[in-house]
Each structure stands twice: as structure tokens, then as C-alpha cells.
């Protein structure tokens, strides 16, 4: 089963577009300003004011834009890394939870005794012999008198149900004795005492007895009642309020004459490794540690229980881990590249890189002194020169032959979740995404920087607007004065011309 992550593959970083330098922006603004002055032929205020404002703030605006673009790319890179490492850890946890990497119990006679592993149980090394001597059964009762119309009302009243242990005759068809258990008697009120009505009232009570009406090939109807399995789940049913005097015909228990036992309540009886045991159910979860037993039939002899290690699944899991690791590392290496990586100076990204590089040497089980492998490197996972991993198939195969149980422990981890590959990946992910020292902290820092840039840009926008208003007012006032001066000049010119004409 392959381990897949949604974002573990490297996402190419878009090629950076050249960012104008402050000097080039200022030069362009100055050229625009000279154009607005129109080489001395008059001032175009509508063009000059924006040019002056741009020249004032162009360098700072370009600087902020460049910083904002860089931070946006860094935030995107952080999201990519968090998704990659979290996806790796989550996918592996799901693989382990699926149970395909754990040893499974086996039975030498599944027709008599089926076995399966309980959730999270470790059953490697299982060895036991079990004989199934008797299956658990539920007491089943049927009425003996045929009823032509199952809906015909007999009367009304109530029954009392009691649960306990019963004895039966040799044929097992008649209850000869009953000892009530410690439970409380259950009262069943019947307002429609037809066969259908009695069955419905029993089922509605939900007391542990189910009832049904069975019609035979002749069309005759009978009431059938069944309890839970186990010797202590036998039951009696006695009419306690009977207005018609006919409900007693449906009594169940010693002395009842109109009902018959078709199955006696009894426990399952087994011999486990020479010890006789009983259970109330044919499904047993608390007899063999970590194993669910399903009793199907009485066995003709001892049934041998063992376990089988999923070596193929374990080998495939190692290969899948290596493949996914290489995908995550490709993304991480790109983001932290010393020259082009947008997160090359980010401490959390560097820490994550170091943690992953050490994965093959991390102890994955507590058996550090027992001679069994405890690290991925010891079972055939090798590191290439570029930092990627590869599987030495021969070494892994040999490790599986000699230490399959240890490898199973390494890959599945301990029951408390504190050991194993999954625990190590989870620890790396938790540290990497930590909001105090991990990628989460970096994201908080970059987001704050982005917010500061937005504030600075807003301040520049306010200053630009204020400068535009001020310059517009100044140039408007100047134009008004110049216009007035030109009017006076025109008057004086005309007056002088008139004087000169009169003198001639």
C-alpha cells in the first residue's frame, strides 16, 4: 500500500521577475517630471503634480513592493513544507492504523474456530491450543398450540419477564427448574393480546428477549421467543394480569404446558492449553490476549493458534516510506537551497531538514541492546550522496528473514504510541509545525512583517494624497498669479503702444 501525500512533491518556484531598483525608479520619475515641464513652454499641472509625487515616493514604494513579494513567496513556501511533512506523517499513521503491517492470528481449523486480531493488538509469536467442546446457545421457546389467525385478539393484560439459570429435561424440550438472577423483573403490558400484539409488546420493551410470529406451511401461526446466549440468560414469562384468563397459555417456565423449549440456554465450553473455561457468547475477546475468537462448531480435536508476519506488506511499506521521504525532501531542498531557496535563511526550515536527514538513524524501538535492528539504516535503507534514500533490496530481504518481528515492531510502534516510525514522524511534524519555534513561528513572523509593509504602504498612500493636494493648491495659486501678471503685462504693452503711436 503506497503512502501518498497531497503536497509532498516539489512545487517549482516561479522564476523571479526583475525588480526595479530604487535608482531606476527615481530616474524614470525625474524623466517624467522634465516632460511635464514641457521644456519651458508652460506648466502642465495635471501631469506635473503626479510626477512630482511619484518622484518623491517611487524608491520607497519599489522597496516595499519587493519586500512584500519576497515575504509572500516565503509564506507560500512555509505552507508547502507544512503540508508536505504533515501529509507524510498522516499518511503513514493511516497505513499503520489499517492493520496491514501487523501479524495476524491463524487457526488450524477455521470451520470450528475463527480468529482475528483486536484493534491495535500485537499477536506476533502467538501459540495456543483450544478445543471447542460446546457452543453457547440462547434459550428459544415456541408455543405448541396452532393459531389460525395471528391477528385475532385473545384479551389484554401483562406479563413479567425474569432472567436467570434454568435446568431442562434430558430431551432439552421442557424447563424443569429456574433460579432467578440478580436482575430486576420486567413487566410487559399487552393491550392487543393477539400473537402479533404479544410479539410487538415484547420487542418494544427491549428487555433482552426478541419475539416473532412464525407461520407454517399450513397457515398456522406460532409465537417464537429467543433470549441472549449464555446459561445465565434463561428466562421465564408469566401472565400477571389476565383479564381474559387466556394469557397464561403463553407462560414460559417450569410447569408451562402450552410452550416448548426448542433450544436450551447454555455457555460455550472450551479447553485452552489444558484449562477448562466457559463463556456466555460464541464471540470471545477476553480469552487469548489480542485475539478475537469466533466459535463456529464443536471441534473434533485441539485447534492450534499461531500467527503470520506480513513480510511482503512490511517490505512494501519500507519502499513506500523511502519514496515519500524523497518527495518531501525534494520540496524541502528546493525551498532551502543556499542560493535560490526562498527559505534558505529560515531556522525552522533548516531544523526540519536536519531532522529528516537523521531519520534513518533514529531508534525506532526500545531494543537497543538485544542485537535486533532498531533503525531504518540497519534494515537496508541507505542514503545517497544527494541526501535521498534508496532501499537495498538484498539487505531488506535478509533482515526480513532473520528479524521480521523486530521490523514489525519498528514500523508499527508501541501500543502507547511512544516508539516506532510513526511516533518519530509525528514528533518531527509536531516540532516542525510548532507555533513557538517551528514553521508556525516563522509564519507568524512573516505575517507580521507583511502587515507592517501594508501599514507602510498605507502611510505612503496618505502622504502621497496629502502632497498631491498641497502641490495642486500651490500650482493653482501660482497659475492664478501668473495669469494676473500676464493681464497687467498685456495692458501695459497696449498702453505703451498707444503712447508711442500718439507721439508719432
Same domain, 186 and 331: no
- 124's CB contacts (< 8 A; 6+ apart) are 102, 103, 307, 309, 405, 408
Q: Give dist(CA 195, CA 151) in Å, integer.
A: 6
Query: What residue has cell string 529560515?
Result: 346
Same domain, 358 and 405: yes
Is 424 a member of any domain?
yes
Is 174 a member of any domain?
yes
Same domain, 291 and 227: no
Given a cut of 60, whether residue 182 has pLDDT beyond it is yes
Is 452 a member of any domain?
no
Number of domains in the chain: 3
- Nearest residue to 58 via CA among 33, 36, 17, 28: 28
Same domain, 146 and 214: yes
H or E stretch including 36?
helix 22-37
Same domain, 194 and 213: yes
Same domain, 330 and 358: yes
Q: Which domain holds residue 208?
A: 138-266
Given a cut of 60, whether residue 14 has pLDDT beyond it is no
Q: How many CB atoms lie within 10 A of CB 325?
A: 21
Is 62 a member of any domain?
yes
Same domain, 370 and 419: yes
Instruction: Pick the more confident residue, 43 or 217.
Output: 217
Query: What residue has cell string 522564476?
Result: 15
pLDDT digits (tens, 9 = 90+) for 376-390: 999 999 999 999 999
Boundary (domain end) residue, out of 445, 472, 496: 445
Beta strands in 245-362 (DSSP E): 259-263, 268-272, 275-279, 283-284, 291-295, 303-308
| Position 38 confidence tier, pLDDT thresholds 50, 70, 90 | very low
- Nearest residue to 353 via CA among 384, 331, 381: 331
Given a cut of 70, whether residue 125 has pLDDT beyond it is yes
Same domain, 61 and 181: no
Given a cut of 50, whether residue 281 has pLDDT beyond it is yes
Same domain, 110 and 93: no
| Position 30 confidence tier, pLDDT thresholds 50, 70, 90 | very low
Given a cut of 90, whether residue 280 has pLDDT beyond it is yes
Same domain, 325 and 438: yes
Gap between the terminal Cα atoms of the chain = 115
pLDDT digits (tens, 9 = 90+) for 245-257: 889 999 999 999 9
Is 10 a member of any domain?
no
Boundary (domain end) residue, out of 266, 300, 319: 266
Q: Give dist(CA 95, CA 149) in Å, integer.
A: 58
Contact 451, 64 (CB under 8 A): no
- Nearest residue to 129 via CA among 293, 308, 310, 297: 293
Is 293 a member of any domain?
yes
Is 440 a member of any domain?
yes
Is 3 a member of any domain?
no
Q: How far is CA 25 from CA 29, 76, 139, 272, 488, in A?
A: 6, 28, 94, 88, 42
pLDDT score for 110: 97
What are the cell numbers at 471?
502641490
In this prediction, residues 461-473 reach a mean pLDDT of 87
Q: Is 470 helix (H, G, I), strand (E, B) or coil?
A: helix
Same domain, 131 and 275: yes
Q: Is 266 helix (H, G, I), strand (E, B) or coil?
A: strand
Boundary (domain end) residue, out of 308, 329, 361: 308
pLDDT digits (tens, 9 = 90+) for 397-413: 999 999 999 999 999 98
Given a cut of 90, whether residue 120 has pLDDT beyond it is no
Same domain, 60 and 157: no
- Estimate to the nearest angstrom the gap between the alpha carbon of 246 and the chain centroid: 59
| Position 367 confidence tier, pLDDT thresholds 50, 70, 90 | low
Amino acid at each position: 500500500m503506497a503512502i501518498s501525500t497531497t503536497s509532498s512533491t516539489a512545487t517549482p518556484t516561479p522564476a523571479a521577475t526583475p525588480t526595479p531598483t530604487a535608482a531606476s525608479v527615481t530616474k524614470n520619475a525625474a524623466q517624467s517630471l522634465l516632460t511635464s515641464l514641457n521644456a519651458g513652454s508652460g506648466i502642465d499641472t495635471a501631469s506635473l503634480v503626479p510626477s512630482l509625487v511619484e518622484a518623491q515616493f517611487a524608491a520607497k514604494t519599489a522597496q516595499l513592493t519587493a519586500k512584500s513579494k519576497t515575504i509572500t513567496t516565503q509564506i507560500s513556501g512555509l505552507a508547502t513544507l507544512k503540508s508536505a511533512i504533515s501529509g507524510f506523517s498522516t499518511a503513514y499513521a493511516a497505513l499503520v492504523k489499517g492493520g496491514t503491517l501487523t501479524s495476524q492470528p491463524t487457526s488450524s481449523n477455521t470451520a470450528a474456530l475463527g480468529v482475528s486480531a483486536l484493534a491495535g493488538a500485537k499477536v506476533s509469536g502467538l501459540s495456543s491450543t483450544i478445543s471447542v467442546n460446546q457452543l453457547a446457545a440462547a434459550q428459544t421457546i415456541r408455543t405448541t398450540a396452532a393459531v389460525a389467525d395471528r391477528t385475532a385478539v385473545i384479551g389484554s393484560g401483562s406479563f413479567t419477564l425474569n432472567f436467570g439459570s434454568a435446568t431442562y429435561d434430558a430431551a432439552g424440550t421442557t424447563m424443569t427448574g429456574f433460579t432467578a438472577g440478580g436482575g430486576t423483573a420486567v413487566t410487559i403490558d399487552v393491550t392487543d393480546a393477539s400473537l402479533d400484539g404479544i410479539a410487538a409488546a415484547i420487542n418494544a420493551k427491549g428487555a433482552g428477549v426478541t419475539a416473532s410470529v412464525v407461520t407454517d406451511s399450513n397457515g398456522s401461526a406460532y409465537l417464537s421467543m429467543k433470549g441472549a446466549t449464555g446459561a445465565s440468560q434463561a428466562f421465564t414469562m408469566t401472565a400477571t394480569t389476565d383479564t381474559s384468563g387466556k394469557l397464561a397459555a403463553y407462560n414460559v417456565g417450569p410447569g408451562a404446558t402450552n410452550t416448548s423449549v426448542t433450544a436450551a440456554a447454555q455457555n460455550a465450553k472450551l479447553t485452552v492449553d489444558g484449562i477448562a473455561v466457559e463463556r456466555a457468547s460464541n464471540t470471545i475477546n477476553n480469552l487469548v490476549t489480542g485475539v478475537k475468537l469466533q466459535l463456529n462448531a464443536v471441534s473434533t480435536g485441539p485447534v492450534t493458534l499461531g500467527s503470520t508476519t506480513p513480510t511482503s506488506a512490511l517490505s512494501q511499506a519500507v519502499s513506500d516510506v523511502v519514496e515519500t521521504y524523497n518527495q518531501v525532501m525534494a520540496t524541502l531542498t528546493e525551498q532551502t537551497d543556499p542560493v535560490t531557496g526562498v527559505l534558505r535563511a529560515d531556522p525552522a526550515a533548516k531544523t526540519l531538514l536536519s531532522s529528516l536527514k537523521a531519520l534513518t538513524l533514529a531508534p525506532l524501538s526500545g531494543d537497543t541492546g538485544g542485537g535486533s535492528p532498531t533503525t531504518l539504516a540497519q534494515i537496508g535503507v541507505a542514503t545517497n550522496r544527494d541526501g535521498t534514500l534508496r532501499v537495498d533490496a538484498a539487505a531488506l530481504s535478509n533482515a526480513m528473514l532473520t528479524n521480521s518481528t523486530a521490523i514489525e515492531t519498528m514500523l508499527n510502534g508501541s501500543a502507547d504510541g511512544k516508539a516506532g516510525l510513526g511516533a518519530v514522524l509525528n514528533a518531527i511534524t509536531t516540532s516542525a509545525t510548532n507555533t513557538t519555534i517551528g514553521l508556525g513561528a516563522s509564519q507568524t513572523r512573516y505575517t507580521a512583517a507583511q502587515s507592517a509593509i501594508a501599514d507602510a504602504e498605507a502611510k505612503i498612500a496618505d502622504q502621497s494624497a496629502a502632497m498631491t493636494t498641497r502641490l495642486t493648491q500651490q500650482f493653482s495659486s501660482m497659475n492664478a498669479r501668473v495669469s494676473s501678471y500676464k493681464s497687467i503685462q498685456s495692458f501695459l504693452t497696449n498702453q505703451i503702444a498707444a503712447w508711442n503711436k500718439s507721439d508719432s
